[in-house]
Chain A
Amino acid sequence: MPESNVLPLKPKDSQKAGAGFLISVDALGYRRGGRSLLDAVSFELGRDPGITVLLGPNGAGKSLLLRLIGGLIRPDSGTIRFSPDFRGPIGMVFQKPVLLRRSVRANLLHALAIARIPRRERTGILARLLVEADLTHCAESPARALSGGEQQRLAMARALVGDPVLLLLDEPTASLDPAATAAFEALVRKVAGEGARILLVTHDLHQARRIADDVLFLHKGRICEHTPAATFFRAPASGEADAYCKGTLLT
């Protein structure tokens, strides 16, 4: 049964046992070709808005974990539970942007139509998204002819359609220049400030330091630690995370 409380709880309330999570991942396992790609992955994301950064070396299973949470693939074992009052879409930005062979504007209008946003509201939202992603100047360009950074910004704008309460962002700033990265981080902070939970994958430790509220560290398909950002960047609890931050982690 959905709880009557549909507003995001304040951090203090979320400490109460059982009612605190937006997502609870429990003993998640995913295997392919005899290899265990994710193993006993367990963690919770609180109901309070915030930015969780998912760190881990190449091949750790970060993209896989995001696709599992997004419901795009099924785990072989374990469960992913959402809070009973979880509503609305999950916004996703893939590591490689998947864009329609149409203009920037048409890509966004398509997403608005899929989300069943009433026709008369679409123009207004479209204009706002174009500004937020700084794409107004190329609204009529074919999406696939955009630069890598512009494509990622379009993918982000599209993920914001429908005001998701959960955003799964897979290396969304990997090909953004410093100014665009700063603008992107400001946008992510703003969305988080409006009440969304964000799970963001990045290899940019400076970025993680700038925006993370808490850090999840994944290595070889296992969660090594889940700690508040301040603690993590002072001294990671796990040897793997420590080695990763120093650039000496071997995969």
Chain B
Amino acid sequence: MLFYSQLLEIVALSLEVSLVAVMLAALIGIPLGALLAIGRFPGRTALIVLVNALMGLPPVVVGLGLYLLLSRSGPLGILQLLYTPTAMIIAQTILVTPIIASFSHQIFADLHREYDEMLRAMRASRWQTILTLIREARHALITAILAGLGRALSEIGAVMIVGGNINHATRVMTTAIALETSKGNLRLAVSLGLILLALSFAINLALHFLRSRLERAAHA
């Protein structure tokens, strides 16, 4: 019984942290991607390069950077966020935002190329254009969000550093697996590993079905 409640607690916190982080990343990343695809402003190309480069951010480095900011002597130490789920959410948001922004940029750029002339022929305003593209992009955007969720759930470096893997407080699936394995508690480690694997499979399955649906819609 204790085993299961422990398992449940860890899985629940993992999902909570990653889902909130992905939601925040989507709120920032999708408009950013749309802006990069449709907007014309100085520094746009540089921003695109930056966002794409940030996609490959090593999680440990993000964790370290955030640690320096949030540690008691750091500039944001006063917020006392270190070793809290909030810090973990911030870390994963930083990791996932560039992924969602970059995917969204690609999605919006393709749709914009396809619909630009049609919308201009209809004399659509900038705002109407953006709303139309968001509406057309909705399925593709879900795939971007799922890809971000996959990354957030499986990431360990950042949550380990800023969360601290504290039992009943900041222990998530990945950090728990690392710890329990090193302690030799393979039952918990393997159970968590299987759950993580199943989640990752489920996400990929969903991605696969969405993609094939999208493809059918595009070629129909």
Contacts and interface: CB of A to CB of B under 8 A. Distances in A.
Interface in B195-220: 217-218, 220
Contacts, number: 44
Contact of A145 (B119, B120, B123, B220): B220
B220 A100 contact: no
Which range holds the interface residue count of chain B?
10 to 19
A192 interface: no
A237 interface: no
Interface in A31-87: 67, 70-72
B123 A98 contact: no
Contacts of A144: 217-218, 220
B53 interface: no
A224 interface: no
A89 B117 contact: no
Nearest to A110: B132
A100 B132 contact: yes
A90 interface: yes
Interface residues of B, dominant DSSP = helix
A100 B129 CA distance: 12
A72 B121 contact: yes
B123 A70 contact: no
B47 interface: no
Nearest to A141: B220
B79 interface: no
Interface in B114-135: 114-115, 117-124, 128, 132, 135
Nearest to B123: A89
A115 interface: yes
Contact of B220 (A90, A92, A98, A142): A142
A70 B122 contact: no
A67 B116 CA distance: 12
A249 to B, nearest CB: 29
A90 B120 CA distance: 10
Contacts of A72: 117, 120-121
25 contacts: A67-B117, A71-B120, A72-B117, A89-B122, A90-B121, A92-B121, A94-B118, A94-B121, A98-B114, A98-B115, A98-B117, A98-B118, A100-B135, A100-B136, A101-B217, A101-B218, A113-B128, A114-B132, A115-B122, A115-B123, A142-B217, A144-B217, A144-B218, A144-B220, A161-B122
